[in-house]
Amino acid sequence: MIIGATATLFNNLPGLFITDGGFDLPNVANFLNKIITPIQPILLQLVFVTINILALLVALLNGYNLGKINAQKVSSVTPLVTSILSGVSLLCFIDFAKLSKNFDYPSYILGSPSLFAGIIISILSVELYTFLIKKNFTIKMPNGVPPMISAAFTSIIPVTVVIIVFSVFGQGFEGFDFLTIFNKLFAYLVVGGSSWITQFFAFLLDRLLWFVGLHGSNIVSSVMNPIWTTQVTDNIAAFNAHQPIPYMFTEQWMNNYVRVSLFPVALLCTISKVKRFNVLGKLSLPGTIFNIAEPIMYGLPVVLNPIMFVPWVLGFAATFLFNVVLSLIGLTPPMVAMTVWTMPAPLAAFIGSGFKFGALAISLLNFVLIFFIFYPFFKVLEKQELANELKTKE
């Protein structure tokens, strides 16, 4: 996805300097166009083979990992077979007569619009395959046959049954396009999950889980990832097509504007009079620049620290709502690309927004906001630590 998003950014780079809506530097725009136009087919191909087949890739990976789980229960189940079977099962729902050479019928059907369908279809195909294996709907080979050959014959009947069943449901009913129906149903889930209210509660849960020592980001993303992935890929596609960006409150919006990093807290530690805090700040400051927060979370600590509850949970919640207001009044540029999670938030906001300096400024503003939210509570914690140091010396 990062490869496809980066290719999209490069493809649209001249638009940053055009007269209408850009920096009004037409000579720069023309110069970039001369460079990018010859390599545009390559850039578009990078999008087609990444973002535009995302649902297929998810089906393959989902099928492989589910196959590994089922293999622990039924030894004859092979993850490689379940992976391929999941991909083929999704393709059973594709009308290849309408599929264009760029895999974008309609609106890149193998991409994010079919993401939820890819997950569901891969699960159903693997479970049906596992059920048939478990019930011995297989061809049994003599004991002397090599294991690889025997495994291939074991899979023939279950795989055949699954592909026939999914082909019947995929294209066997005239006038019914089940994949389109799936996608329309799950589109309501994406729209519902994309509102700032839904995102706020997901973010609040993230902060609460982190506070009790659990990796809130991983836990929440396990539920929200399909929605977030659909949002950002739809934004990338709209940006590439020079259309209005459909989603503002994406995971990237949250990461680059709200979550930013604990760099302000590490900075507070480096200027602290408490020796332990000072050492912790110097050690953690480089990591927090690149969004690695664990040294502060468990070293300060923030986790299970009642003094830090207000800035960590309520303070970040207030930061979230502040950014919602900025977005609703049109000051915040939406995110139209993905960046690696270790990229500093202001730089990620600048690149992810399609090189908008407003995004960079708002991200930096949130660093300052978080600094002042944590400051009074950090001072209380510092006062307690200084008192403890005096008692230790006595």
The number of helices, as runs of H, and strands, as runs of E, in the chain is 18, 0
Q: Could you tell me the residue ranges of all domains in the chain?
A: 1-188, 195-393
Output the pLDDT for position 323. Answer: 96
Of the candidates 43, 12, 44, 46, which has an alpha carbon nearest to the alpha carbon of residue 29? Answer: 12
Output the pLDDT for position 20. Answer: 65
Task: Tell me if 66 sits within 8 A of 122, measured CB to CB.
Answer: yes
**Amino acid identity, residue 337?**
A
Total Cβ atoms within 10 A of residue 326 = 16
Task: Tell me if 363 sits within 8 A of 346, measured CB to CB.
Answer: yes
**Amino acid identity, residue 16?**
L
What are the tens digits of pLDDT across the range 170-222? 887 777 778 878 777 777 777 777 889 989 999 999 999 889 888 888 788 87
- pTM, to two decimals: 0.76
Q: How many angstroms separate the first and last alpha carbons of the chain? A: 58
What is the residue-level pLDDT of the chain in tens, covering all 394 positions? 788 888 888 887 887 777 765 667 788 888 888 888 888 888 888 888 888 888 899 999 999 999 999 999 888 888 999 999 999 999 998 887 777 766 665 567 888 778 888 999 999 999 999 999 888 877 776 666 676 666 667 778 888 899 999 988 888 777 777 887 877 777 777 777 788 998 999 999 999 988 988 888 878 887 888 888 889 888 988 888 888 999 999 999 999 999 998 999 999 999 988 888 999 999 989 889 888 888 899 888 899 899 999 999 999 999 999 999 999 999 999 999 888 888 899 999 999 998 899 999 999 999 999 999 999 999 999 998 888 877 766 5
Cα(69)–Cα(132) distance, integer angstroms = 16
Give the DSSP letter string of 63-121.
HHHHHHHHHTTSTT--HHHHHHHHHHHHHTT--TTT--TTS-HHHHTTSGGGHHHHHHH
Give me 390's structure tokens: 């005096």
Cα(228)–Cα(202) distance, integer angstroms = 12
Output the pLDDT for position 105. Answer: 58
Give me 380's structure tokens: 């209380």
Task: Tell me if 82 sits within 8 A of 67, measured CB to CB.
Answer: yes
Output the pLDDT for position 144. Answer: 65
Cα(87)–Cα(80) distance, integer angstroms = 11
Supply φ then ψ for residue 75, to 5 degrees: -65, -25
Cα(253)–Cα(352) distance, integer angstroms = 9
**Amino acid identity, residue 367?**
F
Cα(277)–Cα(132) distance, integer angstroms = 60
Distance of CA 132 to the CA centre of its chain: 34
Tokens 């590994």 -> residue: 68
Output the pLDDT for position 337. Answer: 87
Buried b (16+ CB within 10 A) or exposed e, 104-134: bbeebbbbbbbbbbbbebbbbbbebbbebbe
What are the tens digits of pLDDT across the range 87-112? 999 999 888 777 776 666 556 788 87
